[in-house]
Each structure stands twice: as structure tokens, then as C-alpha cells.
Structure 1
């Protein structure tokens, strides 16, 4: 079986000096290698082809046959790495907690330990006849959530 660490090292060599970042590498049964990369401005197919050829040039098919799939982290798919959170600061996201509570709001900040989403909360202010929507910052730790993903809206 192909070693994931070897593939990771090869991909990281290709990434040096580029604005792309590694999202995930999976080695599935029968040596199917799936590599996901991303970029703040999107991933170009030519770069996926280039990375695929680079990986193939570094692995020996005579020793182990493999299938290789190189692509981008899909839009609307859950975030897997911190850089994805950072790229979507200022954009609307959906967060599902481990307690199955869903939040939607604007991703405000993200670091290694947690991230912050500004949601709109309905609050009845004293003396007001109707509740009013007010912004509230909600912090999340990564281990408290099932997923966070970019929220796509069609208007």
C-alpha cells in the first residue's frame, strides 16, 4: 500500500512557493490516492493536472499500481483546515454543532483554537413592541462542531 506520508511530502514539495494549500490526502483501498488542494481565489484545472503529473513522476508504478485523483476542496463542502476558515472570513457560513444546533452567520475570525461567527439574534428590547434583530458574536471551538461550510445563497 502506498504510504500517505510519502504522498504528503510530494504534494508539499509541489506547493512550495505557491499560494495553494493542502486540504486533505486520502489513500483508499486498492491504492486510490485522493488529493484535495485549495486556493483563496479558487483552483485552476491546469494546476490540478500539473500536480497530478508531479505526483505521478515521483511514484513508481512498477512497484505499486495506483489510481490518482487531484482536485479542489468542493465549494459547499465542510472546511477541513484552518486556512479554509481564514479564506472565508467576512463570508456567510453554516455551523452545525455536536448538539445538532445549526447557526448561520458571518465568519468573523479564526485561529488555531476557535473561530467566531456573527449571527443575527431576535431580542425584544425593553419598551419595544416587537422583537428586533441584533448581531451577536458566537465563539466555537473546533471540537464542539460537526462541520462548518460556506453558505451558498441564490438570490
Structure 2
């Protein structure tokens, strides 16, 4: 069986036993360095990464194909890509970059399979008179318009 196919099969078998975890990325370099990035509805623990690693390592024949394996969780600096990742961050502030490189930041209110909804708060010039006024609006953003989305880390 092809290396990548066997690796994917073993990883999928592991993920079937852990409904709270899901695959974000699987990379295999030309030198057979394998990187598995996992995320979870309730986060990913070190034990989760160890379990996934063992599910692969203990079932692959290194005599047939030598490889190195790294299993990690999707960190806060990693972009959100899947509805499931957005869903677990409801209530947090996220920054969304569009194809034209414009950015907006707001609180993630809701998520479905087609779009996200952000609560935006900003100041804009008054329509009549001088000065600025506070504006609060909800904006629906289809996934197709999102180039990159990151959780905003606040200290």
C-alpha cells in the first residue's frame, strides 16, 4: 500500500475513536518528514498528540518506509480554516483578512457551514455635524470571502 494512503488510513482510524478531534493538516515532505496538525472541540492535549502518534508509529513498518513523525495541535497563531475551528472560538475576537488584504476585527457571534457572523464596533464620522459616533453592527462573512482568519490574542 502507498505510504501516504496507509498513513491517512491509520490517522482516520484514530480520529474515528476520538470524535472530539479533527485533522487540520497532514504534510509529507519528499524526505518523508510527516507533520500532523490536529485540533479539537475542547482543545488538544499532549496526551491526544501522543495517542495519535502511537496510532501511526505502532502500525507502520519502518523497514518498508522510513519516516519521521511530528504530531501537534493547531496553535493560536494558526489560521482558522474549518467551520469546526470557528465554532469553538465563538465569543472570541477574531481578525479576518479578505482577498484584497483589507482586515476587520470583531467578536465571533455565530458560525454555520456557509458563513460566520461578526459583531463589529467602531467609530465613524457623524452624518450630521462634527465629531464621531459609536457604531455596532453584525456582519455576515461567507467563507469564500475569507483569505485568512486568526484569533486575536489579548493580554
TM range (shorter): 0.7 to 0.9
Q: Runs of at least 4 residues of structure 1 off by over 3 A?
A: 123-130
Q: What does 1:48-127 align with in structure 2 at a 5 Å threshold? A: 48-124=49-125
Q: What is the aligned-residue RMSD (CA, Å)?
A: 1.9
Mark the runs of 5 or more structure 2 residues left unpaired by the alignment: none
Question: Equivalents in 2 of 1:86, 1:56: separation in Å?
Answer: 31
**Shift in Å, 1:81:** 1.9
Indicate if the aligned counterparts of 1:24 and 1:80 stay in contact, CA closer than 8 A: no
1:15 aligns with 2:36: no
Q: What does 1:19-58 align with in structure 2 at a 5 Å threshold? A: 19-58=20-59
TM-score by length of 2: 0.88
TM-score by length of 1: 0.88
Question: Equivalents in 2 of 1:55, 1:68: separation in Å?
Answer: 9
Indicate if the aligned counterparts of 1:2 and 1:31 stay in contact, CA closer than 8 A: no
